[in-house]
């Protein structure tokens, strides 16, 4: 029995030795070892360079980023009129409105109290003497501004200059020898380039003065946020990044890996209010252009023509006999405006402005806005299939340009999918419509020629094939005799409705 056990043990040992010898002969173990070594050194050296750059930016430019806390006080109570009108629109009651009486009696008995609204944002020091660049919306309507430096010191901030349209402002604190950031060149940015967003989200709430950094890439350039988001602010040329921008980051800098400021963080696009990988920044070149004026407290002026314009479609370009869609269609010329004084007319197509080709509306608005007010420029137009040159004196853009609005009501006559009604004085007042004459679009049938042409409920039709439309009767009369494609001029723009698709 002992001999059998001994023989069995020797056999197992011999098998193990033979196995190792075979493995060594076939070079299995060295291959396994080499694979392990490759996995350990798989990190590229570029990652190490990026990490060093982010750390360096945090330690340098980060020292110039501040937290901005604002306070706005409103008096509440003892209100004589309720602010938003009757909940049912125009009061159906003649004489005294019972809803108004209720609000008056209720608020009469309430004492006035101070309601404090707190705001939070960031800023970047651009001068050692205490000048700080931030967003205008960060300090808008602020009665008190408090600036906290990364070292924990707090100062009272004073607004030196602001530009609501550009959403930029400069505030000043009484401090010297401060670390200041370097302003870079946003004109050289490239999609995919690494950038770092610096700010102090929730800084005051978390009682931490040190700014935070998030890294990402430039996702897109020359983005437009549109009027729904921007309202009266001009966000028509912003930088998009996936570097995390959270509440409180507004006004902080977006910097490149050299630590140069290339943008001012302005907004996030989110369905939840939190970070979703889409953030925006104002190009720093926009700020550099007006920085001296902001510091000196001067009013920022923007060029203005006084026209409503729109991009051309393939159908419109063909209708006007143009070779392509390059250019901007003038759909309305405002009275007593620089454009009207120069002889510009509705349906003109702007091809050049100040010897620069114009391809679309965005290009025209940007070019005109940057022009010096009072300067005379050459504008090349296409009119009635002929080229025409005008000299326009650039005007100053008014502070508030009113928007037209429409309403939806009922109708009984349909033309190419359009239903219209009279634009009565009562409807004009109720819906804030400036036009006194025209046909109000109240319905657009799905998949109709009108819908494919671009018309929507609320549009105000002013002309059909350049024939004046003062009311629904004019609309009915003209459309019943119309044949072929029709050029429809509205308060919103010019559209081409085809006879058939």
Asked if residues 241 and 234 have their Cβ atoms less than 8 Å apart, the reply is no
- Given the residues 163, 167, 234, 237, select the one marked as catalytic: 167
Please name the residues in contact with 152: beta carbons below 8 A apart, sequence gap of 6 or more: 209
Catalytic site includes residue 167: yes
- Alpha helix (H) ranges present in 61-210? 98-108, 136-139
Please name the residues in contact with 416: beta carbons below 8 A apart, sequence gap of 6 or more: 448, 449, 450, 479, 486, 497, 499
Asked if residues 122 and 199 have their Cβ atoms less than 8 Å apart, the reply is yes
193, 221, 211, 352: which is closest to 280 by C-alpha? 221
CA distance 416 to 461: 14
Backbone phi and psi for residue 338, each to the nearest 5 degrees, phi listed first? -55, -40
CA distance 475 to 470: 8
Backbone phi and psi for residue 495, each to the nearest 5 degrees, phi listed first? -135, 150
CA distance 386 to 318: 14
Strands 303-304 and 395-396: antiparallel
Which burial class, exposed, middle or buried, applies to 252 when counting CB atoms under 10 A from its CB (0-12, 13-18, 19+)? buried
CA distance 297 to 203: 28
Give the number of other Cβ atoms within 10 Å of residue 157's Cβ: 24
CA distance 499 to 81: 52
- Given the residues 67, 250, 331, 337, select the one marked as catalytic: 250
CA distance 277 to 198: 15
- Given the residues 137, 242, 348, 448, select the one marked as catalytic: 137
Tokens at residue 171, please? Answer: 């505030």
Catalytic site includes residue 137: yes
CA distance 142 to 133: 16
Strands 418-422 and 439-444: antiparallel
Q: What is the DSSP letter of 398?
A: P
Active site residues: 137, 167, 250
């Amino acid at each position: 029995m002992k001999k059998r056990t001994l023989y069995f043990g020797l056999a197992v040992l011999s098998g193990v030795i033979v196995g190792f010898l075979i493995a060594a002969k076939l070079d299995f173990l060295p291959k396994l070892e080499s694979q392990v070594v490759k996995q350990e050194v798989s990190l590229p050296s570029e990652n190490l360079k990026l990490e060093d750059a982010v750390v360096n930016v945090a330690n340098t430019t980060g020292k110039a980023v501040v937290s901005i806390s604002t306070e706005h006080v409103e008096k509440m109570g003892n209100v004589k009129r309720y602010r938003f009108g009757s909940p049912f629109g125009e009061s159906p009651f003649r004489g005294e409105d019972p809803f108004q009486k209720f609000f008056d009696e209720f608020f009469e008995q309430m004492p006035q109290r101070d309601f404090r609204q707190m705001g939070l944002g960031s800023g970047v020091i651009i001068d050692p003497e205490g000048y700080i660049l931030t967003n205008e919306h960060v300090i808008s309507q602020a009665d008190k501004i408090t600036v906290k430096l990364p070292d924990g010191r707090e100062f009272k901030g004073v607004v030196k200059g602001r530009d609501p349209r550009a959403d930029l402002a400069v505030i000043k604190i009484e401090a010297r020898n401060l670390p200041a950031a370097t302003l870079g060149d946003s004109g050289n940015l490239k999609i995919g380039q690494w950038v770092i967003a610096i700010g102090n989200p929730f800084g005051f709430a978390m009682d931490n003065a040190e700014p935070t950094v998030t890294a990402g890439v430039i996702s897109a350039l020359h983005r437009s946020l549109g009027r729904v988001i921007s309202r009266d602010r001009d966000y028509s040329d912003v930088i998009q990044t996936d570097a995390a921008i959270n509440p409180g980051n507004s006004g902080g800098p977006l910097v490149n890996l050299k630590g140069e400021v290339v943008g001012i963080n302005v907004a996030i696009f989110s369905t939840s209010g939190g970070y979703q990988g889409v953030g925006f920044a104002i190009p720093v070149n926009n700020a550099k252009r007006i920085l001296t004026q902001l510091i000196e407290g001067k009013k920022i002026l923007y060029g203005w023509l006084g026209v409503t314009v729109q991009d051309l479609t393939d159908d419109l370009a063909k209708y006007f006999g143009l070779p392509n869609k390059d250019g901007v269609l003038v759909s309305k010329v405002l009275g007593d405006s620089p454009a009207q004084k120069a002889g510009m007319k509705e349906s003109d197509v702007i091809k050049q402005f100040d010897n620069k080709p114009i391809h679309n509306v965005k290009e025209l608005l940007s070019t005109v806005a940057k022009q010096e007010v009072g300067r005379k420029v050459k504008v090349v137009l296409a009119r009635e299939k002929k080229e025409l040159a005008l000299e326009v004196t650039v005007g100053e853009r008014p502070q508030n340009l009113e928007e037209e609005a429409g309403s939806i009501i009922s109708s009984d006559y349909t033309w190419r999918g359009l239903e219209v009604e009279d634009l009565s004085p009562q409807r004009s007042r109720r819906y804030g419509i400036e036009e006194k004459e025209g046909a109000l679009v109240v319905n657009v049938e799905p998949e109709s020629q009108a819908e494919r042409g671009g018309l929507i409920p609320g549009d105000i039709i002013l002309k059909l094939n350049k024939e004046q439309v003062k009311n629904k009767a004019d609309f009915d009369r003209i459309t019943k005799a119309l044949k072929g494609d029709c050029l429809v001029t509205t308060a919103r723009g010019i559209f081409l409705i085809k006879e058939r698709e």
